[in-house]
Amino acid sequence: MSTIFMSPKGGNCTTVTATAYALLLAARGTPTLLIDLCGDIPAALGMAEPTSPGINDWLREHSTSDAQAIMTMGTEFDNGLIVLHRGSPFVEGQPRWADLARAISSSPINVVIDAGISFIPEELRQAVSHITMVVKPCYLSLRRASRMQRPTELFVVCEEGRALTIKDVGHVLGMPVTCEVPYTPAISRAVDAGMLPSRAEQLFGPYMTSM
C-alpha cells in the first residue's frame, strides 16, 4: 500500500497530517518509507536539517541511482519509519518520475509521500494505492479542489470558526470524508516543540482509525 498526500492550497496542514499518518503506520507495525517532496518533514519530526542528498537528487535527469538507493539514502527514524528528505531544492533536468513510480510499485515496505501542493505526475498517480487530499473547510481551498482531479481519500482538518462545515466539503467535492482531523493548539505545540513523534498516537490516533 502506498499513499500520496496532497492539497489544493498551502496552509492545510498537509505535511503534519502526512507525517503523523506515517508515524502511526510505523508504530502500529507497518514499516514505512516517508518521502518528502516539499522539504518540511524534518522540521515536523524535530530532526536536524539534513545535508545529504535526497529525493530531488535521486530524481535528477542524469542520475543513475536505482530503487535500492532510495532506501539507503533515507534516514532510519524510529519504530520502522525511514525518512527520505527532499535534498536539493530543485530537480535538475526532467525528473525521473517513471523510475520513481517503478521503485514505489516494487517497494518491500509501505510508502507515504508528502507532495503538498506540488504537481503529481500521472506516473506517480498510477503507482500508488491512494491519493489523499488534505483540506480545511475553507472556501479558497474548496474552490481550487473542485477544479482538480478527484482524490481517492479525503482528509478534512476541522478548524473552528469556519462558515463551511465538514458536510459542505463532502458535498462540494462529491465524495465522502474519509477522516476528520481536529485543528488544535496541542498539535501546533507538539510540532513547535519537536514532539510530534511521541504524541502522534495521542493527537491523531483516535481519528486515523481505518489505517
- The string of pLDDT tens digits covering residues 127-165 is 999 999 999 999 999 999 999 999 999 999 998 888 999
C-alpha to C-alpha distance for 100 and 149, rounded to whole angstroms:
21
Stretches in the chain below the pLDDT threshold 70: 210-211
Which pLDDT does position 12 carry in this prediction? 93
Indicate the angle between helix axes 185-192 and 196-204, nearest 10 degrees.
Answer: 160
pLDDT value at position 161? Answer: 85
Give residue 211's pLDDT: 66
| Domain covering 2-204 in this structure, CATH number | 3.40.50.300
Domain ranges of the chain: 2-204
Please answer whether residues 177 and 169 qualify as being in contact, where contact means their C-beta atoms are separated by less than 8 angstroms.
yes
Q: pTM of this prediction? A: 0.95
Between the CA of residue 199 and those of 10, 85, 97, 153, 163, what are the distances in Å?
Answer: 24, 21, 34, 24, 30
Q: Are strands 110-116 and 32-36 parallel, antiparallel or unpaired?
A: parallel
CA distance 32 to 30: 6
- Residue count (the chain): 211
Q: Which three cell numbers stand for residue 76?
A: 532510519
